[in-house]
Structure 1
């Protein structure tokens, strides 16, 4: 059995903690006699929310988002996550180019081409700035469609060929 609590248990625990904090804050405004002065009595100006007005739970948001087609930022994040294992050593010594400095291009076939330069502090000094993560991915958040992922030697030719036909199987 997994010793970690599920996301739902953590969510309920978090809501209970927030409720306790809110109750403590409310009680802190009471006078010593327990009767608040008229200026301390809160006046509701809007009706309290009902269960149907509550925002969806985070697990419902994730489920709804799973069918959403990938956007550029999603392709970038997926490529980083898919390729980090190609850089052996201490993960803390990897420095990925930020999204706005990476090449994330929509190909003619609707797939995303991703090229992220990576400074790999695990490598000898002359090779720290030699690698890049490279991916071609499409699909949805819940079901990415991987056509290519890996690490390449940095070079403009990789980006120049972003829309080249995919290798046949």
Structure 2
């Protein structure tokens, strides 16, 4: 099992984007990036051992900055659509930033998939951390979240989400592969 890091482009803000490649003992490969905590590629062996990518994605980090299909993206704080870009929490109306016909789709125009994440490599995994401040896209509470991608020796990709907020909030994350 190995994890390799390489350059994957630059954000519009001039931040370096990195690509992390995890290879297991069977030769299966998973690629993830710290821009959006995105699952970029999963190369699986067919019956003849030929690797085939089974994830839709792009070849350059810059392409993910206009990723309207949200390929491979970590979606958060909320995955899916919130009607009217508002909801009631503890008796209080919460107004979100709309981005789709007056609704909040995948947490608004500046969702987690368009942000840089801090990366930590492990033996067979990459963990990405992000701090979402109180009021970001309208969501209440400071929310610290970690998304960990693990490639097992059983040729499985596991995605684990963990988050903590200092206030009641919405946490309904997913991956868009």
Shorter-normalised TM range? 0.3 to 0.5
- TM-score scaled to structure 2, two decimals? 0.32
Larger Rg: 1
- Pick the structure with more helix per residue: 1
Q: Which has the higher contact order (CA 8 A, sep 6+)?
A: 2
- Pick the structure with more strand per residue: 2
